Amino acid sequence: MSATAAESRVPSDQAGDRYAPAGIESRYRPPRATIDPDRSLSWLRRARPVVLAHKRTLLTALILSFTGLVLQVQIPKLLNDAVTNSLQRATVPLSHYVWLVLVLAVAAGIAAYVARLFLLRTAYAMEFDLRNIIYEHLTRMSFGFYDRVQSGQLISRANSDIRSVQMYLTFAPAILVQCAVALVAFGYMLSINVPLAFVAMSTTPLVYFSSVRMRKSIFPVSWLIQSRLADVATIVDENINGVRVVKSFVAEPREVRTLARAADRLKWAYVQDADIRARFTPTVQNLPQLGLALILLFGGYLVIHGHLQVGAILAFSAYITMLQPPFQLLGMLIMLGQRAKASAGRIYEILDEAPTVLDRPGAIDLASCEGDVSFESVDFDYADGPAILSDFSLHLTPGETVAMVGRTASGKTTVSRLLPRFYDVTGGAVKVDGRDVRDLTLASLREQIGVVLDEPFLFTASIRDNIAYGRPGADIAEVQAAARAAGAEEFILELPHGFDTVVGERGYTLSGGQRQRVAIARTLLVNPPILILDDATSAVDVQVEQGIHEGLRVLMEGRTTLIVAHRLSTIGLADRVVLLDGGRIVADGTHAELLATTPLYVEVLAQVEEAEHQAREEPTRR
Ligand SMILES: Nc1ncnc2c1ncn2[C@@H]1O[C@H](COP(=O)(O)OP(=O)(O)OP(=O)(O)O)[C@@H](O)[C@H]1O
Ligand SMILES: [Mg+2]
């Protein structure tokens, strides 16, 4: 059990480890190249560094594919020679040609095999790089970005867009190579008979144009299919994630109808797609037969009048079937290009968005932290929205515990987000040990601050790995100690596998209070000098809360702690209480002082008390 939380979360499929890379420790390798940041370039030019990073395998694939195809092109010519020299004139033994054809076919086969292997390797390596480039970028993006984007859309879009860009970047050169070989074949045909070569090639423009027509009609429909697939996926996703809401409102029939409607629209698009394909495919596939008929007609005429050997007809018929696929693919290439361009646009849209909260050049590490925290005339709003905080000032001396109280939506959670720089202030400054947090490196700042959010998120992993998330190397004794301090050890030991019990997705197999205690243990294990607890005990009943408080009281000693508090009992943990209203601190003192001097404080507490009371009256609601 030495795997860290992150590693043990790599999903294992049915095949298990049998199909994992043998003997290779899977680890993160940074992408070899990134997208060119110059936005004025075309999408292809911007993608060039990623392609160039794989130029060796890609070039190998292309050269081998070219070689294989050129070898293949020899075969019809040999057929012509064989018929003429061995069958008609009997000057060369037939076995000579048979062997040559066999050797060529085997060599072409081997070249094609290796070429394909290298081409697909390049494709998947590029896909891997693109995925890492995007993911790395996403991890650097600030909270403001995630407030705006829809995560489900982001993930599915990234997947299909990466695929279509990757396809174009690798298959476009491969298709172009095939077309180049077609030219070589045309050269051979010219060397046999010039007029017949032109007659034979006369149908290829038709092949090209009908394939373009087909792709043109299919293209909009395939977009429709993509977006309708996404619609269906979104409905399914919301129904699974929101199953508790759906069921409690007995909305299953309505949801099933919604899904059926979306599925029906998807089916319609699929049928359209099938219809277009059914109409065009026979045309595209049968055009070569038309070419064959022309060859037979014109070539036959030439043979009858003694201008051409019979073998040439054989060779031409082989060439004509060999030449169709490149032209069909060429038609496809144009559509692939359009799709890849649109996909690349969406990928670049993400990559071009710079994170707003960044290390300043010359930012220093916060090495040893005293725990002196001050908010100095802080102004803040979310993305140019209304002002949430204005002229907010608060000072916490090292080791002090301050409870922050305020009406709902008064900005308490917002204050706690500014200290670890989840967002940057719009005015004033937040300082730790007298240093502006924007002058410190993000990593060193966040290492010193433990945050327990009101909605704790757990990973699908064992409780032990969840608690050790911030310190993957922690041994079991430390994990147990943290769990004990958070009042979580007791219930964990009652679980079927104790600390090794895997909690369901987002920890839903635990109760809200249990989840919170695991989250508190997770933060305590990191042992940060500054602690932020946002309503961290709201979902915990009063008795359990006392247990946690005992643990917290010990742990808060010597630690600067900011608690967003609703309950009197939580306020009791604090040395000092501040009241937040209208974006600033309106009262500051001990609980008793505030009770005596500030009517608003009494009012806010009374409201909370009432809400709690109601919750107790209706226990089934909770
Ligand atoms: N990510 C966000 N983007 C935009 N606005 C936000 C965001 N988070 C909060 N707000 C807004 O900021 C205001 C303050 O919210 P905040 O969560 O800080 O309140 P709070 O005091 O913690 O409330 P509660 O006691 O209900 O938890 C609210 O009006 C809210 O709508
Ligand atoms: Mg809040």
Dihedral over Cα of 45, 49, 54, 59: its sign: positive
Q: Report which bound ligand comes closest to the CA of 388.
A: 1
| d(CA 295, ligand 2 centre) in Å | 80
CA neighbor of 518 nearest in space, from 473, 546, 480 = 480
480-498 residue pLDDT tens:
998 988 888 888 999 889 9
Q: Which residues have C-beta within 8 Å of that of residue 135, sequence separation ≥ 6? A: none
**Confidence category of residue 621, pLDDT binned at 50, 70, 90:** very low
For residue 415, the ligand 1 atom closest to its alpha carbon is 18
What domains lie within the chain, and their CATH numbers? 5-12+32-351 (1.20.1560.10), 373-621 (3.40.50.300)
> CB burial class (10 A; 0-12, 13-18, 19+) of residue 19?
exposed
Dihedral over Cα of 442, 443, 447, 451: its sign: positive
Higher pLDDT pick, 529 / 18: 529
| Mean pLDDT across 328-333 | 81
| d(CA 421, ligand 1 centre) in Å | 16
| d(CA 603, ligand 1 centre) in Å | 20
For residue 412, the ligand 1 atom closest to its alpha carbon is 21
| Residue 380 confidence (pLDDT) | 95
Dihedral angle at the C-alpha atoms of 96, 322, 169, 66, nearest 10 degrees?
20
| d(CA 577, ligand 2 centre) in Å | 17
Task: Please give the Cα distance from 394 to 402 (Å, whole number).
Answer: 10
- Residue 620 confidence (pLDDT) above 70: no
Which helix or strand (DSSP H or E) is residue 410 part of? none
Which helix or strand (DSSP H or E) is residue 344 part of? helix 310-351
Task: Please give the Cα distance from 548 to 1 (Å, whole number).
Answer: 28
What is the token pair recorded at 36? 């060119």
209-264 residue pLDDT tens:
888 888 888 878 887 887 788 788 888 888 888 888 898 889 999 999 999 999 99
- The strands making up 576-581's β-sheet, listed across from edge to edge, are 449-452, 530-534, 560-564, 401-406, 576-581, 584-589
Q: Which residues have C-beta within 8 Å of that of residue 5, sequence separation ≥ 6? A: 459, 461, 465, 466, 468, 469, 472
**Confidence category of residue 151, pLDDT binned at 50, 70, 90:** low
Using most ligand atoms within 8 A of CB, pick from 146, 410, 453, 537 the residue to mutate for ligand 1: 410
Average pLDDT of the chain, as a whole number: 85
Using most ligand atoms within 8 A of CB, pick from 382, 384, 423, 451 the residue to mutate for ligand 1: 382
| Residue 202 confidence (pLDDT) | 86
Pocket of ligand 1 (CB under 6 A): 147, 382, 385, 388, 406, 408-414
| d(CA 437, ligand 2 centre) in Å | 22
| d(CA 543, ligand 2 centre) in Å | 23
| Mean pLDDT across 111-121 | 93
Amino acid sitting at position 536: A
**Confidence category of residue 182, pLDDT binned at 50, 70, 90:** confident
CA neighbor of 542 nearest in space, from 569, 577, 519 = 569
**Confidence category of residue 161, pLDDT binned at 50, 70, 90:** confident
| d(CA 412, ligand 2 centre) in Å | 6
Note whether 111 and 71 are within 8 A (CB).
yes
Highest mean pLDDT pick, 219-228, 274-283, 422-431: 422-431
| Residue 337 confidence (pLDDT) | 87
| Residue 25 confidence (pLDDT) | 56
Q: How many C-beta atoms lie closer than 10 Å to residue 430's C-beta?
A: 24
**Confidence category of residue 385, pLDDT binned at 50, 70, 90:** confident
The three-class DSSP label of residue 460 is coil
| d(CA 411, ligand 1 centre) in Å | 5
Using most ligand atoms within 8 A of CB, pick from 379, 407, 412 the residue to mutate for ligand 1: 412
Dihedral over Cα of 231, 232, 235, 236: its sign: negative
For residue 411, the ligand 1 atom closest to its alpha carbon is 18
Task: Please give the Cα distance from 523 to 474 (Å, whole number).
Answer: 13
For residue 414, the ligand 1 atom closest to its alpha carbon is 18
| Residue 405 confidence (pLDDT) | 92
Q: Report which bound ligand comes closest to the CA of 414.
A: 1
| Residue 282 confidence (pLDDT) | 84
What is the token pair recorded at 336? 């692939």
- To the nearest whole percent, how much of the chain has pLDDT over 90? 35
565-602 residue pLDDT tens:
877 778 888 889 999 998 899 999 999 999 899 999 98
What is the token pair recorded at 537? 């005990």
Using most ligand atoms within 8 A of CB, pick from 151, 381, 389, 414 the residue to mutate for ligand 1: 414
Q: Please calculate the CA angle 90-302-206 and round it to the nearest 5 degrees.
A: 115
For ion ligand 2, residues whose CB falls within 5 Å: 413
